[in-house]
Amino acid sequence: MTTLSSALSGYSIIPEPDLLFANGSSNKHPLVGLIENGPYSSKFSSPSQLRLALVAPLTEMPKLDALVNELSNTFNPKEAANYYPKYPGFQSVFRIPIKNVLDNHKVFLPDTLYTLAKNLQKIELAKQLLDSISPLRARRSEFDVALIFLPEDWNSCFEGESFDLHHYLKAVCALTGMPIQIITQKALNRPCRANVMWGLSVALYAKAGGVPWKLSVINEDEVFIGISYAMKISEDGVMYSTCCSQIFDPDGTGFQFIAYDAKEFTKDAFNNPYLSYYEMQSVLSRSLEVYQRSNSGRIPKKITIHKNTKFTNEEILGALDSFNNGTEVELVQVVKTTDWKAVSYKHKGKERPFPDNYPVQRGTYLPLDKNEVLLWTQGSVQGVHIENKWFNVYKDGALKPTPSPLLLRRYTGAGGWHNTCQGILGLTKMDWNNNTLYKKLPVTLVYSKTFADILQQNPNLVDTVYDFRHFM
């Protein structure tokens, strides 16, 4: 038997990570876990109720009233019934009531905003919308989340090369400490109301300060940091980079952001910035300080840093020198798009293997060499239990019949690939602004990228620590 030098090593499979809910109960399925056990933070009795404020034009306010009423109803899934369980109502899921919306917690937007939208006066529309919302700031302690309805007639103002109404509202409201949930006609029109209610209810509970679930696989002595960048141009025409750092607390319940303007950096042909030694140290020292404030000054034993571009030598040295010798530093580049594919085969008895109806199992990883590994964060999830039935679930099947893996490149760190891949796989289940079983990317990169995009709309967010709930 000869061994080919081009042969790949064997693959391994990480079991689907468990999530923790009330009373320490666990489940692999976030929605089933909520139904059976209640949210993780219910043991802290926080929040004890959901208090909403509503913002909409006068003629559209009944739509928000109807949506709030829907949250208390039950709905059977019309889409992906092998994943979505029956939605039993907000109070049944989260064990807290929705308080009736008070009249003084309703803001009616003026009709003049329609004219501004029609004339594509995006920034003026945003400013007048925020002026209309401003009375809620004085009542901020009286509600948890503000629902803002953006009419379909305003669609042309939602996005643009230099302006995004959604991100602009998030950025400005974050400065005032007001979590918002933006509602569009698209969400109201969606036929599967179970799908809509699951997504909306989990997001509202989290934005109100609740913890729907946490991970059970994270080591308490490990911290994850996600880094993304926002390229901006100053008033004098000088381009600079703002580094957006997200700190994921070791118990899986804390997400905090901080942004830092970096002046010393280089760029590649794709305009991706790379920090100098000192700028990387500045970013990570701020991140460590944020972590220590919430953990009595404790230093983690391991820090894993994710970003979607390579780590340069200066960034590597800056990261290593940011922590003491007792802290292991793992630097991992997460490449979302690759050309790799894999097909799962099965066989019966002595028959020749034939392609399976399902793709490779989620959690499969295949080392390419000591510094690179392929990790399938999309794929078949086996043994999902819903209403006394067991399913194999591949939620992306309609769009991507053959999932592509992530490519992970490790620049520092020791040991095999299991723990590195296990951490990333778990973090794909921690997006509370999402009602599905997983995302392709870990939450460290999903939220830091969102923060960077929102930061483009308001540079005043720099050098202040923010709870991630303001950017969901």
At residue 251, the pLDDT reads 59
Structure-model confidence comparison of residues 276 and 295, the more confident one? 276
Whether 4 has a pLDDT exceeding 60, the answer reads: no
Mean pLDDT over residues 374-402, rounded? 74
Whether 425 has a pLDDT exceeding 70, the answer reads: yes
Mean pLDDT over residues 84-107, rounded? 94
When pLDDT is cut at 50, 70 and 90, the band that residue 76 belongs to is very high
CATH of 46-206, one of 3.30.70.1400, 3.40.50.2300, 3.90.1560.10, 3.40.50.1820: 3.40.50.2300
**3-state percent helix, strand, coil for the chain, nearest multiple of 5:** 35, 25, 40
Q: What percent of the chain has pLDDT over 90?
A: 41
Distance CA 318, CA 154 (A): 46
> 10-15+215-464 belongs to which homologous superfamily?
Ribonuclease H-like superfamily/Ribonuclease H (3.30.420.10)
At residue 213, the pLDDT reads 92
At residue 2, the pLDDT reads 42
Distance CA 142, CA 145 (A): 10
Q: What percent of the chain has pLDDT over 70?
A: 87
User: What does the DSSP assignment read for 408-446?
Assistant: EEEEE--S-SHHHHHHHHHHTT--TT--SS--SS-HHHH
Give yes or no for a contact between 265 and 275, defined as CB atoms under 8 angstroms apart.
yes
Whether 262 has a pLDDT exceeding 50, the answer reads: yes
Mean pLDDT over residues 300-316, rounded? 93
Q: Would you tell me how many other CB atoms lie within 10 Å of the CB of residue 205? A: 24
At residue 240, the pLDDT reads 55
Per-residue CA distances from 97 to 143, 166, 202 (Å) = 13, 28, 14
Mean pLDDT of the residues in the chain: 84
Whether 454 has a pLDDT exceeding 50, the answer reads: yes
Whether 1 has a pLDDT exceeding 80, the answer reads: no
| Tally of helices (H runs) and strands (E runs) in the chain | 12, 23
Q: What are phi and psi of 287, to 5 degrees?
A: -65, -45
At residue 314, the pLDDT reads 95
Q: Would you tell me how many other CB atoms lie within 10 Å of the CB of residue 293? A: 11
Structure-model confidence comparison of residues 159 and 120, the more confident one? 120
Mean pLDDT over residues 189-203, rounded? 94
At residue 40, the pLDDT reads 92
Per-residue CA distances from 133 to 122, 125, 152, 194, 222 (Å) = 17, 12, 19, 30, 40
Full-model pTM: 0.89
**Domain map (residue ranges) of the chain:** 10-15+215-464, 46-206
Please report where in the chains the tokens 């629902």 appear, as a residue: 147
Whether 313 has a pLDDT exceeding 60, the answer reads: yes
Distance CA 382, CA 367 (A): 23
| CATH topology match: 10-15+215-464 vs 46-206 | no
Top-ranked range on mean pLDDT: pick from 84-93, 282-291, 316-325: 84-93
